[in-house]
Structure 1
Amino acid sequence: MLELPTPVIAYLIALLLENRSLAYLLVQKDGALSAWGGKLAAYGVGNLQKGRNIGQQIFFLEGLLPLDDVSLFLPRLKTEEGICADVHIFPSEEGDWVLLLDATVDEMQLSLIQQHANELSLSQEKISRVLNQ
């Protein structure tokens, strides 16, 4: 495993907490929510109930849990409220962890790239039409 100096780890954690609105859920293998924390409100998640099935509380997790022994990454997933999040789901002895990280900046950058690609394509079509006339 990569060994990092403590100041580097502290910086990365602070950066993550400051810029990515970290939130987490711990779900038992039977689907019951057992713990949660972080900035869940930033994703429109609230009124969680311990012991209640997670799929009934957070719609996009329905059918994804329980995990076997493989982690799952869902990039730029839109929540019910339209908030863009990177969702990391990984198994542990305690249950399955669900991490939410804000992906709004990534989504905006991808949107800009797509917009530029579309504009380039339109420009090429116009040039082709002019040259063919």
Structure 2
Amino acid sequence: MLDIPPAVINYILNYLIEARSLAYLLVKKDGSLLAWGGKLAEYGITNLRQGGGVGEQVFFLEGLLPLDDIPLFLPLIKTEYGICTDVHMFPSSEGDWVLLLDSTWDENQLLPIQQSINDFSLLQEKLTRIQNH
């Protein structure tokens, strides 16, 4: 394992908690919610019930759990509340962990690039139609 100084680890943890609005859920293999914490309210996730089905409480997780012992990363997922988040899921002996990290900044950086690509594709199609006529 890497020898990382405690000051660096503290900085990374504080950055994830504050700047990326770290939130987490722990879900049993039967799909019931075991524990949660962090900044869930920033993702519009409130009023969770321990023991209740996670898919019924956090709709964008419906059908994604349980994991088959393989971590899963879903970048730039738009929640039902319109918040863009990176979703990291990984299995453990306690159950499946779901980590949420705000990716609004990433989305804002990628959106103009994606729009330019879409505009270029439309222009290319238009030129191809003109050439074929």
* TM-score (structure 2 length as normaliser): 0.87
Cα separation, 2, equivalents of 1:28 and 1:65? 9
Deviation at 1:117, TM superposition (A): 3.8
Cα separation, 2, equivalents of 1:61 and 1:115? 28
Cα separation, 2, equivalents of 1:13 and 1:6? 10
Give the partner amino acid of 2:96: D
The equivalent of 1:78 in structure 2 is 78
The equivalent of 1:66 in structure 2 is 66
The equivalent of 2:107 in structure 1 is 107
* TM-score (structure 1 length as normaliser): 0.87
Cα separation, 2, equivalents of 1:95 and 1:124? 49
Stretches of structure 2 that go unaligned for 5 or more consecutive residues are: 126-133
1:1-37 deviations in Å (ceiling 9; x for gaps): 2221111111111111121000000000111101001
Report percent identity of matched pairs.
66
- Residue 5 to residue 115, structure 1, CA distance change in 2 (3 Å): same
Cα separation, 2, equivalents of 1:28 and 1:40? 18
Give the partner amino acid of 1:47: N
Q: Kindly tell me the number of residue pairs found equivalent between the two proteins.
A: 128
Stretches of structure 1 that go unaligned for 5 or more consecutive residues are: 126-133
Deviation at 1:116, TM superposition (A): 3.8
Give the partner amino acid of 1:61: L
Deviation at 1:57, TM superposition (A): 0.8
Equivalent position SS for 1:99: strand
